[in-house]
Amino acid sequence: MRVLSGIQPTGRFHWGNYFGAIRQYIQLQTEDAAFYFIANLHALTTVRDPQVLRQNTQEAAIDLLALGLDPDHAVLFAQSDVPEVCELTWLLMTGTPLGLLERCHAYKDKKARGLPADAGLFTYPVLMAADILAYDSDTVPVGEDQGQHIEVCRDIAASFNHHFGEVFVMPRAKILHTAAKVPGTDGEKMSKSYHNTLEVFEDPRAQRKKIMRIKTDSRPVDQPKDPDTDHLYQLFSLVGTDQQKEELAESYRRGGFGYGDVKKLLADAAEAYFQPSRQRREQLAAEPDRIHQILGDGAATARKKAAEVLRRAQQACGIR
């Protein structure tokens, strides 16, 4: 199994990013091969401040390493450090139907809301296809709402293979169902767009204050409640131990407790859960040269593989 996934450096990672995706990436890193990249080229469609993008890319690398990504098992690199992917994007673009891109969710949604959509957003799925195909990836972990991207990639690869022979490995999506189940502080899906996030490496005191302000319903203290439908409990279930979750679930069913008590338990459990990663992050942040070395080594490995695939595609279509 050759795993590939990327994550955009558009801001600090929140619980939705971690529990919905990053944790599973780390679990998959011991497969035959795993390529994980920081998608700074994709981020250019929304981040237009060069200093912010540089900083976010560096911070994303530190965060991933602190959360357990091991460069001895997985290849970690910045997307822009593999220019072969951009060359491959053009080869794929020449055979990608316009209608296929017009049906993609990100473009359709932005147009439907009357927002400006540039060519970068419109052709985003082709760059994403090149990201996947450049490393002969056969497994791409994604959230349920991103499955379309893999289908588009398969369509683009199939079209190229039809015209020029079996050049590309056909990838398949590995759907991460948890990605749709991380509620934000308002009960909706956790997202930067909704301003309802709990950041992974947020100062514990600031996060505690944010947790204490989480909206809850107005049911009486003594009324039994269903833990499975309560977003406070859903958040707690991500960071609490099995015993803590069982005890709290029983309290919900029994009644006789206040949401304030649950919020305190949630803040305590979150601080304990992320404390080891927070300590690793402090150590990594103090070693910028080490981070640059890891990204440089990862880019060298990624470029070697991408160059091989690009050469194969160039030869197939007659430009090499």
Contact residues for 24 (Cβ-Cβ < 8 A; gap 6+): 141, 176, 178
Neighbour count for residue 29 (Cβ, 10 Å): 21
List helix spans (H) across 96-203.
Answer: 98-102, 105-112, 119-122, 124-133, 147-164
> Which residues are part of the catalytic machinery?
110, 189, 192
Q: Please count the other Cβ atoms lying within 10 Å of the Cβ belonging to residue 34.
A: 25
Gap between the Cα atoms of 314 and 320, Å rounded: 5
Query: How large is the greatest C-alpha to C-alpha distance in the chain, in angstroms?
Result: 75
Quote the DSSP letter at residue 265: H
How is the chain split among helix, strand and coil, in percent rounded to 5? 60, 10, 30
H helices present in 165-230, as ranges: 204-212
CA distance 215 to 211: 9
Residue owning tokens 């990838």: 171
Please give the radius of gyration of the chain, using alpha carbons only, rounded to the nearest integer.
22
Whose CA is closest to 84, among 49, 36, 41? 41
Rounded CA-CA distance 320/312 in Å is 9
Other C-beta atoms closer than 10 Å to the C-beta of 123 total 18
Question: Angle, nearest 10°, between helix axes 124-133 and 147-164?
Answer: 70
For residues 204 and 216, give the distance between their C-alpha atoms in angstroms, rounded to a whole number.
21
